């Protein structure tokens, strides 16, 4: 198991972690899967388009409209219920195949940490399962 620490800088943002994950699996031979799991309840992981930054803006904007942070019905004392809900919708993990030390992502795909309650330092665990 490997660990990746990411520092976020905004309350809500999508951080492209594709290069960091690619670096971690670069020496892994054969074919396999890398499972990423974030150990927090107010952020998530997803695979999405990495060519147009408007996709990330649209993604976060939609979630903000769907689950506003100032909902008067939220009772959680930390005032971040919206982040917990967004995290559950996006999910805490992704699985990406690799071959010969390279991620098998599509042309426009990237791996993103979705921050919903930053800025914070986030820990992602990577489990690598390889045929070699």
CATH number for the domain formed by residue range(s) 2-130: 2.60.120.460
Nearest alpha-carbon partner for 113 in 24, 27, 40, 28: 40
CA 55 to chain centre: 15
Q: Which two structure tokens, joined as six digits, stand for 29?
A: 């031979």
Taking only the tens of pLDDT, the chain with its 132 residues reads 999 999 999 999 999 999 999 999 999 999 999 999 999 999 999 999 999 999 999 999 999 999 987 877 877 777 789 999 999 999 999 999 999 999 999 999 999 999 999 999 999 999 999 987
For the chain, give every domain's residue range.
Answer: 2-130
Alpha helix segments (H runs only) across 1-132: 18-25, 53-66, 81-90
Residue 76, pLDDT score:
76
Give the model's pLDDT for residue 53.
93
């Amino acid at each position: 198991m490997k660990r990746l620490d990411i520092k976020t800088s905004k309350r809500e943002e999508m951080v492209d972690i594709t290069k960091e994950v690619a670096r971690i699996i670069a020496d892994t031979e054969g074919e396999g899967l890398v499972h990423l799991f974030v150990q927090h309840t107010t952020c998530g992981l997803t695979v999405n388009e990495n060519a147009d930054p408007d996709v990330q803006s649209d993604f976060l904007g939609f979630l903000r409209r769907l689950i506003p942070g100032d909902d008067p019905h939220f009772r959680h004392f930390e005032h971040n219920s919206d982040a917990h809900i967004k995290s559950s919708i996006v999910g805490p993990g992704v699985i990406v195949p690799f071959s010969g030390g390279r991620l098998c992502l599509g042309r426009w795909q990237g791996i993103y940490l979705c921050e919903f309650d930053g800025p914070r330092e986030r820990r992602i665990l990577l489990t690598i399962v390889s045929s070699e």
